[in-house]
């Protein structure tokens, strides 16, 4: 069971624990512990993701209670009207506060786990 932090007629916010997938993909289709399915079973209705958190990341996850609400929430993330803020737990001592504001991967080429799609096929014309 997941902790529901907030719920109204349009959205639900849950506390996603570390180690949980937000949704299944073809890479992990046999995964048993998935946030979307658990929330759906808890509240008795489908939910629609507006954003994701990586499997090792815990935090607040917002989901729409309709496809339209999910789409509008996702749009707000894309337009930076809603922002994600990450806090790190570190070992040792920090001499001062720091703000890291740069992408973890600068381009598709640098990413070790993804690559641009290779499109094969022909035009329907």
**Choosing from 8, 9, 54, 101, which is the catalytic residue?**
54
Strands (E), 1-125: 3-7, 11-16, 48-49, 59-64
Torsion angle, CA of 114/116/119/125, rounded to 10 degrees? 140
Q: Is 54 a catalytic residue?
A: yes
| DSSP type of residue 34 | B
Among the listed residues 54, 53, 56, 21, the one whose alpha carbon sits nearest the alpha carbon of residue 36? 21
Catalytic residues: 54
């Amino acid at each position: 069971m997941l902790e529901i932090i907030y719920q109204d007629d349009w959205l639900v916010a849950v506390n996603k624990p570390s180690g949980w997938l937000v949704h299944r993909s073809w890479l992990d289709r046999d995964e048993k512990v998935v946030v979307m399915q658990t929330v759906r079973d808890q509240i008795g209705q489908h939910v629609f993701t507006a954003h994701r958190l990586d499997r090792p990341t815990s935090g607040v996850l917002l989901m729409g209670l309709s496809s339209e609400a999910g789409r509008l929430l996702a749009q707000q993330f894309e337009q930076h009207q809603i922002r994600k803020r990450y806090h790190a737990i570190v070992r040792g001592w920090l001499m001062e506060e720091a703000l890291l504001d740069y992408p973890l991967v600068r381009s598709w080429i640098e990413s070790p786990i993804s690559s641009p799609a290779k499109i094969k096929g022909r035009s329907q014309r």
